[in-house]
Amino acid sequence: MAEERFDIYDEQLNPLGTASRSETHALGYWHRSFHCWLTRREGNRQYVRFQLRQAGKDTYPGCYDITAAGHLTAGETMQDAVREIEEELGVAARFEDLIPLGEARKEMSGEVRGVPFIDREVSDVFALVCSLPLDALKLQFEEVAAVFEADVEQMIRLFEGELAELICEGVELTAAGERSKVKRAVRAAEFVPRESSYYALIMRALRDCT
């Protein structure tokens, strides 16, 4: 199967053309991505869901991350990228259903299985109100190992260092691809590295968006 190609940009987001996924991460080209956090309200409590990335991912394997996210392939728009929610979680959504939360930039480098990478992304961030039970989600085996849920206020305390960990309930995929309920201690350091204020700011935006 042909490797994905991305539209690539300089630091001011002037277009430079396209590059393959591996070239983009090897050479550190700026590219665009789509982020969507699933949230729901129960009484006076707001909840957020987040995924555990599969161990085979080429960046940040085994880290907690945004509920659904993905790179824009060459020629795609943010409206097209809403497909990521259904592909990764089995949740059908329209772009019009999303609540815009702003834009985020990330510039990180690292190494996965001996291969160095430079990840420079500009992401449009959205929320989607979703009341589906966790065990109704259809996780994409290649991308998502598990999805967990936590109270937004507790997540703010976690990312601001007031809590060392949170015990979160979730649903994970077994080696056979079946869903299984799970409970796990979650720590802020186990999330994909981003600007220190990113996660707390997003949690506050989610708290206020419904």
The per-residue pLDDT for 175 is 82
The per-residue pLDDT for 171 is 97
CB-CB contact of 51 with 146 (8 Å): yes
Q: Which two tokens stand for residue 51?
A: 């995924």
How many whole angstroms separate alpha carbon 88 and alpha carbon 196? 26
How many whole angstroms separate alpha carbon 31 and alpha carbon 93? 24
Beta-bridge mates of residue 171: 147, 181
Report domain extents, the chain.
5-208
Q: Is the torsion defined by CA of 121, 127, 133, 136 positive or negative?
A: negative
What are the average pLDDT values for consecutive 10-residue runs of the chain, which has 210 residues?
89 95 94 96 95 90 95 94 95 96 89 87 96 94 96 96 97 88 96 87 89
The per-residue pLDDT for 1 is 61
Residues sharing a CB contact under 8 Å with residue 193, sequence separation 6 or more, in sequence order: 60, 108
Beta-bridge mates of residue 112: 115
In the CATH scheme, what is the code of domain 5-208?
A: 3.90.79.10
Q: Which residues of 149-176 are buried (b: 16+ CB within 10 A; e: fewer)?
A: bbbbebbbbbbeeeeeebebebbbbeee
* Alpha carbon distances (Å) from 105 to 35, 68, 69, 207: 12, 17, 14, 22
According to DSSP, residue 158 is labeled: H
The per-residue pLDDT for 109 is 87
Q: Which two tokens stand for residue 195?
A: 């600007």
The per-residue pLDDT for 60 is 87
The per-residue pLDDT for 14 is 96
